[in-house]
């Protein structure tokens, strides 16, 4: 089947889709886009501007949750991410909805607040797979795109970082509470609840996986953020989930 993932490298919502594809062993290609210049292409294809977007033949599916739902439907013989039981399935989906709406955006605010003033790091993070000429152009354009990128990642409010900090603290406490009860958030098996939590926390803990390992050297503010969160009990659970369930077999990046 002709499957292509349109993505940002290192992005935690994009990581959800990558992880699901890899966990299920679904052959696919990946096309890396750059934040800002990506908008016209994604808008034309999907009517919105967010990634990830999965192309299945000539059909486009936008959003990590919808992509995972589609993969579960189209590849029933592949390893499952959804429990069979209705009660467990409902709880797994509720975890995913909450983390997508609350934890993921809050983590993004903290990370971008730590890197937005570094004119070299964001191009390194999101354009490192591009040809040299594109990397140079993107780095040159970045100072003019900084405000747009900041706004697009939730930094357009005066209290954005303070609010994001509160939400991350609260959600990491919730993750710790559930992680102390057992290896997985719902039942006794890995599910989309665990995948979502781990992927969305990943930028705070810098897992040793090629899809999410942060480029070095990090800006001092980002290094301090990662150092702070990496020793949290929930972060250790995230790293354990990565070690157990995040395959290093990745799609082919174009």
DSSP for 38-87 reads: HHHHHHHHHSS--S-EEEETTEEEESHHHHHHHHHHH-TTSPPSS-SSHH
CATH of the domain at 203: 1.20.1050
Gyration radius of the chain over CA positions: 18
Domains in the chain, number: 2
**Model pLDDT, residue 248:** 65
110 and 236 housed in the same domain: yes
In angstroms, the Cα distances linking 100 to 63, 80, 136, 145 are 10, 20, 33, 26
Residue 36 pLDDT more than 90? no
SS3 call for 102: helix
Instruction: Answer with the one of 32, 53, 81 that is the final residue of a domain.
Output: 81
Q: Which two tokens stand for residue 202?
A: 């990943």
Per-residue pLDDT band at 252 (split at 50, 70, 90) = low
Range of the domain at 47: 3-81
Q: What is the mean pLDDT of residues 110-136?
A: 91
Answer whether residue 254 is part of any domain: no
Whether residues 77 and 91 fall in one domain = no
93 in the same domain as 61? no
Is residue 74 classed exposed, middle or buried when 0-12, 13-18 and 19+ CB atoms within 10 A define those classes? middle
CA distances, 188 to each of 138, 179, 184, 194 (Å):
45, 12, 6, 11
Same domain for 47 and 15, yes or no, is yes
26: CATH: 3.40.30.10
In a domain, 112, yes or no: yes
104 falls in which pLDDT band (50, 70, 90)? Answer: very high
> Does the pTM exceed 0.75?
yes
Please tell me whether residues 105 and 9 are part of one structural domain: no
Same domain as 146, residue 63:
no
Question: Do 251 and 14 meet the contact criterion of CB atoms below 8 Å apart?
Answer: no
Instruction: Clarify whether residues 172 and 217 are in a common domain.
Output: yes
In a domain, 108, yes or no: yes
How open is the CA angle 96-97-100, to the nearest 5 degrees?
80
Query: Collapsing DSSP states into helix, strand and coil, what is residue 164?
Result: helix
- Residues 210, 191: one domain? yes
């Amino acid at each position: 089947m002709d499957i292509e993932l349109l993505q940002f490298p290192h992005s935690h919502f994009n990581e959800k889709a990558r992880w699901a594809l890899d966990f299920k062993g679904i052959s696919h290609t990946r096309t890396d886009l750059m934040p800002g210049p990506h908008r016209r292409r994604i808008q034309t294809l999907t009517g919105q501007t967010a990634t990830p977007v999965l192309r299945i033949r000539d059909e486009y599916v936008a959003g990590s949750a919808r992509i995972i739902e589609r993969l579960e439907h189209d590849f029933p013989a592949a390893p499952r991410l959804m429990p069979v039981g209705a009660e467990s399935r409902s709880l797994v989906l509720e975890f995913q909805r909450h983390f997508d709406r609350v934890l993921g955006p809050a983590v993004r605010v903290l990370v971008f607040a730590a890197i937005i003033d570094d004119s070299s790091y964001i191009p390194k993070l999101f354009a490192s797979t591009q040809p040299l000429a594109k990397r140079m152009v993107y780095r040159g354009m970045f100072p003019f795109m900084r405000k747009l990128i900041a706004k697009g990642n939730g930094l357009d409010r005066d209290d954005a970082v303070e609010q994001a900090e509160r939400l991350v603290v609260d959600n990491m406490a919730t993750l710790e509470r559930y992680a102390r009860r057992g290896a997985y958030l719902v039942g006794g098996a890995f599910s989309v609840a665990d995948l979502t939590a781990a992927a969305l926390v990943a930028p705070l803990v810098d897992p040793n996986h090629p899809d999410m390992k942060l480029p070095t050297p990090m800006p001092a503010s980002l290094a301090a953020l990662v150092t702070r969160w990496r020793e949290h009990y929930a972060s250790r659970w995230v790293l354990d989930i990565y070690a157990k369930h995040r395959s290093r077999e990745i799609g082919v990046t174009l």
